[in-house]
Chain A
Amino acid sequence: MKGTYLGEFEEVVLLAVAIRSGDAYGATVVTEIEQQMNRSVNLGAVHSALNRLGEKGLVTSELGGMTAERGGRSKRLYSVTAAGRRALQEIRQVRNQMWESIPTTVWT
Chain B
Amino acid sequence: MKPNHRPPPRLATYLLHLFCAPHRVDEMEGDLDELFQQRVRLLGERKARLRYMQDVLSLLRPSLLRRQHTTEYPQPTNTTMIRNYVKIAWRNITRSKGFSGINIAGLALGMACSLLILLWVQDERSVDGFHANGKNLYQVYERKYYDGKVEAAYETQGLLADELKRVIPEVQYASGLDWTRPVTFQVGSTVNKVEGNYAGADFFRMFSYPLLAGNPNTALDSPNGIAISRKMADQFFGSPEKAIGKAIRYENKEDLTITAVFENIPANSSQQFDFLRTWTAFVKENDWVHNWGNYNPSAFIQLRPEADPVKVEAKIKDFIHRYLPKNKSFRVELALQAYPEKYLHSTFKNGQIEGGRIEYVRLFSFVAMFILLIACINFMNLATARSAKRAKEVGVRKAIGAARTALMGQFVGEAMLITCLAMLVAISLVVLILPAFNNLTGKQLALPITQPIFWSTLLGLLLVTGFVSGSYPALFLSALNPVRVLKGSLRFSPGATNFRKALVVFQFGLSVLLVVGMIVMYRQMNYIQTKNLGYNRENLIYIPLEGEIGKKYDLFKEEAGKMPGVLTVSRMRGTPTIISHHTGDFSWPGKDPNQATSFADETVGYDFVKAAGLTLKEGRDFSKAFGIDSVGFLVNEAALAKMGYKTGVDQPLSWGDRKGKIIGVLKDFHFSSMHETIEPLIIRLDEKRSWGTILVRTEPGKTKEALAGLEKVSKELNPSFPFTYQFSDLEFTKLYQSEQMVSQLANYFAILAIFISCLGLFGLATFAAEQRTKEIGVRKVLGASAGSVVALLSKDFLKPVLIAIIITTPIAWYAMNRWLQDFAYKIDIEWWIFALAGGLAIGIALLTISFQSIKAALMNPVKSLRSE
Which A residues lie at the B interface, using CB under 8 A?
25-27, 30-31, 40, 42-45, 47-48, 51-52, 63, 68-71, 73-76
Q: Is B77 an interface residue (CB 8 A)?
A: no
Nearest chain B CB to A61 CB, angstrom units: 10
Complex: A84 Cα to B34 Cα, angstroms: 27
Q: Nearest chain-B residue to A44 (Cβ)?
A: B58
Docked complex: B1-42 residues within 8 A CB-CB of A? 1-2, 5, 26-35, 37-38
Complex: A70 Cα to B60 Cα, angstroms: 21
Nearest chain B CB to A41 CB, angstrom units: 9
Contacting residues, chain B, for A44 (C-beta < 8 A): 55, 57-61, 64
Interface size on B, as a range, is 20 to 34
Interface centre among B37, B54, B59 (most CB of A within 10 A): B59
Q: Is B51 an interface residue (CB 8 A)?
A: yes
Complex: A65 Cα to B27 Cα, angstroms: 11
Q: Nearest chain-A residue to B35 (Cβ)?
A: A27
Complex: A45 Cα to B38 Cα, angstroms: 19
A27 and B64 contact, Cβ closer than 8 Å, known pairs A42-B55, A43-B55: no
Q: Nearest chain-A residue to B31 (Cβ)?
A: A26
Which of B1, B34, B63 contacts A51 (CB under 8 A)? B63
A43 and B64 contact, Cβ closer than 8 Å, known pairs A31-B38, A69-B2, A71-B1: no
Q: Could you name 16 residue pairs across A and B whose Cβ atoms are closer than 8 Å?
A: A25-B31, A26-B28, A31-B38, A43-B31, A43-B58, A44-B59, A47-B28, A51-B64, A68-B2, A69-B37, A70-B33, A71-B5, A71-B33, A73-B30, A73-B33, A74-B30
Which of A25, A43, A52, A68 contacts B1 (CB under 8 A)? A68
Q: Nearest chain-A residue to B2 (Cβ)?
A: A69
Contacting residues, chain B, for A71 (C-beta < 8 A): 1, 5, 29-30, 33
Contacting residues, chain A, for B30 (C-beta < 8 A): 26-27, 70-71, 73-75
Nearest chain B CB to A51 CB, angstrom units: 5
Which of B26, B37, B59 contacts A74 (CB under 8 A)? B26
List the 6 closest pairs (A to B, CB-CB), nearest first: A44-B58, A73-B30, A26-B31, A42-B58, A43-B55, A70-B30
Contacting residues, chain B, for A70 (C-beta < 8 A): 30-31, 33-34
Contacting residues, chain A, for B1 (C-beta < 8 A): 68, 71
Nearest chain A CB to B851 CB, angstrom units: 67
Complex: A70 Cα to B38 Cα, angstroms: 11
Contacting residues, chain B, for A47 (C-beta < 8 A): 28, 31, 59, 64
B contact face: mostly helix, strand, loop, or mixed: helix
Q: Contact at A48–B64, with CB atoms within 8 Å?
A: yes
Contacting residues, chain A, for B55 (C-beta < 8 A): 42-44
Contacting residues, chain A, for B54 (C-beta < 8 A): 42
Q: Nearest chain-A residue to B26 (Cβ)?
A: A73
Complex: A2 Cα to B291 Cα, angstroms: 123
Q: Contact at A30–B59, with CB atoms within 8 Å?
A: no
Contact with A along B469-505 (1 / 0, CB 8 A): 0000000000000000000000000000000000000
Complex: A75 Cα to B1 Cα, angstroms: 17
Contacting residues, chain B, for A42 (C-beta < 8 A): 54-55, 58
Q: Contact at A74–B27, with CB atoms within 8 Å?
A: yes
Q: Contact at A75–B27, with CB atoms within 8 Å?
A: yes
Nearest chain A CB to B588 CB, angstrom units: 108
Complex: A73 Cα to B33 Cα, angstroms: 10
Nearest chain A CB to B57 CB, angstrom units: 7
Complex: A51 Cα to B5 Cα, angstroms: 30
Contacting residues, chain A, for B60 (C-beta < 8 A): 44
Complex: A67 Cα to B30 Cα, angstroms: 9
Nearest chain A CB to B31 CB, angstrom units: 4
Contacting residues, chain A, for B32 (C-beta < 8 A): 27, 43
Nearest chain A CB to B601 CB, angstrom units: 100
Q: Contact at A43–B35, with CB atoms within 8 Å?
A: yes
A48 and B34 contact, Cβ closer than 8 Å, known pairs A26-B28, A42-B55, A76-B27: no
A31 and B59 contact, Cβ closer than 8 Å, known pairs A44-B64, A69-B2, A74-B26: no
Contacting residues, chain B, for A27 (C-beta < 8 A): 30-32, 34-35, 38
Complex: A73 Cα to B58 Cα, angstroms: 20
Contacting residues, chain B, for A30 (C-beta < 8 A): 31, 35
Nearest chain B CB to A59 CB, angstrom units: 15
Q: Contact at A48–B31, with CB atoms within 8 Å?
A: no
Complex: A42 Cα to B52 Cα, angstroms: 9
Contact with A along B41-76 (1 / 0, CB 8 A): 000000000010011011111011000000000000
Beyond A44-B55, A45-B58, 15 additional contacts (C-beta under 8 Å) are: A27-B31, A27-B32, A27-B34, A40-B51, A42-B58, A43-B35, A44-B58, A44-B64, A47-B28, A48-B63, A51-B63, A52-B63, A68-B1, A73-B33, A74-B26
Complex: A52 Cα to B61 Cα, angstroms: 13
Q: Nearest chain-B residue to A55 (Cβ)?
A: B63
Contacting residues, chain A, for B59 (C-beta < 8 A): 43-44, 47
Complex: A42 Cα to B57 Cα, angstroms: 9
Complex: A30 Cα to B32 Cα, angstroms: 10
Nearest chain A CB to B337 CB, angstrom units: 75
